[in-house]
Structure 1
Amino acid sequence: MSVKIQTKNLGELLIKLVDKSLAKEIIINNHYSGKWNNSGFGLYNFGIYREHSDECLGVAVYGYTMHPKAKLFTHPNPDAKMLELNRMWISDELGKNAESILIAHSLKLLKKIDKNVVAVQSFADGRLGCGTIYKASNFKYYGQHETIFGRNKRTGEINHQMNFTRMDSKSIYIRNNVGFLLGDMEFFKVDTYRYIFPLCKRFVSNLKQQPYPPYKKGAMLIQMDRNKELIKERLIKFISDL
């Protein structure tokens, strides 16, 4: 499934479904996070192309929300679901206007492909801004919360705070917490902004819609007070189990 768009400044563009493997490769190689969540990302992936070109110049990746069973909305369809715009990247060759074009037309295609998708959620990372592109794309705003990340000062790798406490992945826990104990980690917090785009008039969010936030960008370094003895005990157990 695809759609052609004639634009004033960018010429004719093509937006179409692309393979998950291509979307993953593009995101890992180009997105600022450099990360792909294998368990939730890439249910539907859309690429953007110039006319008569096979080079994919951007992707919009739609997948499951972090907590799919959370009661975030009501809808008369018992099979209704809300997906998340997990990742998006656009080549500088196309420019910023292409972002809103890719979002708008991929949402339309998504609605045609899966009738049970009644809304799309996305989060704006405060390190980059407060989600101006979502406002321009007519997403509704549902507030913000603080998110904490840890950055390895040796490698530059950034991980969500939960990757320092989650017990379901020994490799992630060991790698991040050994770095923490060695003093290689610094922590920072950013504002995370929640946006939702309804795809159906019968979708009703259980969250309270709010006015769009004022522009803000940046991150704040913080000190993390963590139980090092407990971390050591868990590391010893995990390593012994290997």
Structure 2
Amino acid sequence: MPEIAVMARKPNHHPKAPGIFKAPITQQIDYIKGTEAIAGFGNKDFYVAIIPSKLAREIIIANHYSKRIVNNSYIHLGVYVDGIMRGVLQFGYMLNQTKYGLEKIVTGTKQGDYLELNRMWLDDIAPRNSESKAISYAIKYIKKACPMVGWIQSFADERCGCLGVVYQAANFLYFGHHKTHFYELNGETYHSMLLSVRKANPCPRDKHLMDNLSKAKRQSLTQFRYIYFIKRSWIARCKVKPLPYPKPNQPLPSRSIKVNRLKKPS
């Protein structure tokens, strides 16, 4: 990988632009330092590093099963194996950024206190367990580059044909499953939340769904919520307790009995 310069003005809770940095050249696993800030984490065999948002979006559109980007993303990491980019991780805001959305699981959460893994794609040629290793290295980077972040959320989707084993291997906690509604229209997939969260100020794509909702096919898919707590003390802020990991060919863990709210730290 040649020298890369990533310079931009960002909100305070965004990571500082790293400036110019070089790919690691040794076996030592460590932070990748740019001229201005931390740029990534790993060693010459396997590392993650900041890449331009335009490049990340192009790769996701070309390779991710959804064929869609999430405009909420503001951390874009390339995943490099033996010096060749084999994947992309994008972190950013959750779709529902209201107070209800921010505090649905973790009370007291404010903007900048969390991240959501919006998109992840790795080439099939990458070694086994590369997904969980990439997530682990990304978390190392985030700890250093975004010290405000207390927790990271991601969802496994039944469209992937798995229960979130990648997140289980990366030591995320499991917080249950739920049904999410999607709409398919002219080959595009839309999250049903767009009909409410962005109703007042829809983008052209959202407006297209609203104007043609009667023609869209509604689907219901299961999603599995996982959270990694960078600040372990924040686990006590959770409104519900984590559940055992879901396993293949077994009933999904659920909260059929009301769970007591965990005590919020004083």
Pairwise TM-score range, normalised by the shorter structure: 0.7 to 0.9
**Residue equivalent to 2:121:** 89
* Separation of aligned partners in 1, 2:207 and 2:153: 31
**Superposed CA RMSD:** 2.4
Kindly tell me: are residues 169 and 78 of structure 1, through their superposed partners in 2, closer, same or farther at Cα, counting changes over 3 Å? closer
Post-superposition shift, 1:125?
0.8
Question: Any idea what SS the aligned residue of 1:202 has?
Answer: helix
Question: Any idea what SS the aligned residue of 2:233 has?
Answer: coil
- Which aligned pairs between 1:176-191 and structure 2 lie closer than 5 A? 176-181=209-214, 183=215, 185-191=216-222
Post-superposition shift, 1:178?
4.4
- Give the conservation status (yes or no) of the 8 Å contact 1:151–1:186: yes
In percent, how many aligned pairs have the same letter?
Answer: 31
**Residue equivalent to 2:208:** 175
| Structure 2 gap segments, 5+ residues each | 1-38, 250-266
Per the normalisation by structure 2, the TM-score is 0.68
**Residue equivalent to 1:136:** 169
Question: Any idea what SS the aligned residue of 1:101 has?
Answer: helix
Amino acid at match of 2:49: K
**Residue equivalent to 2:47:** 14
| Structure 1 gap segments, 5+ residues each | 7-11, 217-242
Amino acid at match of 2:96: H
- Which aligned pairs between 1:31-50 and structure 2 lie closer than 5 A? 31-38=64-71, 40-41=72-73, 43-50=74-81
**Residue equivalent to 1:148:** 181
**Residue equivalent to 2:141:** 109
* Separation of aligned partners in 2, 1:104 and 1:63: 17
The correspondence for 2:228, drawn from 192, 197, 200, is 197
Per the normalisation by structure 1, the TM-score is 0.75
* Separation of aligned partners in 1, 2:206 and 2:92: 24
Higher relative contact order (CA 8 A, sep 6+): 1
Kindly tell me: are residues 202 and 23 of structure 1, through their superposed partners in 2, closer, same or farther at Cα, counting changes over 3 Å? same
* Separation of aligned partners in 2, 1:94 and 1:25: 19
* Separation of aligned partners in 1, 2:96 and 2:120: 20
* Separation of aligned partners in 2, 1:37 and 1:47: 16
**Residue equivalent to 1:26:** 59
- Cα deviation digits, residues 32-83 of structure 1 (max 9, x gap): 1111232x11x212111133x4x421111110122343223257x9886011
- Cα deviation digits, residues 58-115 of structure 1 (max 9, x gap): 111110122343223257x988601101110001121442111100101111111111
